[in-house]
Structure 1
């Protein structure tokens, strides 16, 4: 982070139990993890950004976010880790519902960045989702990619990169 001047970094598969800690002398990581030692998401902050955080919201071990004020704008940074292939369909549906609820809770005048491992392939081209497909996908779209594009379309957000 330091060498590339990264101010905010979302991480997944942390497998940490707890909620926050310092990394080294300067960086702080907020995270959401359970005692199962699986999953886990987090957001690491550069010292320049730490004082701008106004709220941290831990939904579960697959979804968390924070609200911060930067450059006179309200930002929501969300770290997400979607269930992978082989997980129960109920678990996947619960994740999508929680993510949609989180997005819907944010005012349209505020900015949102969702970063994470969505375990989906949206494919190389929009193919019907040009309004939400950012053009930076690869390969062929899979079922989870289709669902992700549908969710993005409903939430009026764009998938910038995969």
Structure 2
């Protein structure tokens, strides 16, 4: 299994400019904050967590023999939603339960099952609506978080060696999916973005290569 796990936090109460509530940085505590009792703090934490979603994406190379390891990792890292690339799992079942706690969405589009994408959602993320497969490389899900609704796209871009026609088709399909507000794109984009982050600090991490 690939070790390229990426994680982000989504907070429906956050309204930072340009981030749509998506942040990988810890929140700054205000000065002179009121001191809460232990019970009050626990209540506040529970209410706050209801409006948060921890999202990850992973290139699994194949789902075969890896589902238990995936669930272990999600429990360990407290991920609510994991996007999967290169599932390479044959079958036509849209939904499968893992340990009774996690919902796996996948569907192969060809006999060879070369690429394929999927989602794993924790059962507490409810409602998850309108899970649909755009193509073998793009899957989308509509999620309601607190008073906010948004779409998560898990993508797996054509890799080196794929034809220009296949790359163009993927970009056109992806562009068709980003014509609405509150879109979060995760996945394996098979791209090198370099280290220059000027003007893109809110969306590009500090560890680019290429």
* Pair in the same fold by TM > 0.5: yes
CA distance in structure 2 between the aligned counterparts of 1:15 and 1:25, rounded to whole angstroms: 23
Show structure 2 runs of 5+ residues with no match: 1-73
Deviations 1:65-108 (A, max 9, x none): 1001111100211110000011000000000000010111x2x2
Corresponding residue pairs, total? 133
List 4+ stretches of structure 1 deviating above 4 A: none
CA contact (8 A) 2:103 2:120 kept: yes
Match of 1:120, SS state, is coil
CA contact (8 A) 1:32 1:64 kept: no
Larger Rg computed on CA atoms: 2
CA distance in structure 1 between the aligned counterparts of 2:154 and 2:205, rounded to whole angstroms: 22
CA distance in structure 2 between the aligned counterparts of 1:94 and 1:32, rounded to whole angstroms: 20
Match of 1:14, SS state, is coil
Kindly report the root-mean-square deviation, in angstroms, between the aligned alpha carbons of the 2 structures: 1.7
Counterpart position of 2:121: 45
Is 1:59–2:129 an aligned residue pair? no
Is 1:3–2:80 an aligned residue pair? no
CA spacing shift, 1:124–1:135, aligned 2, 3 Å: same
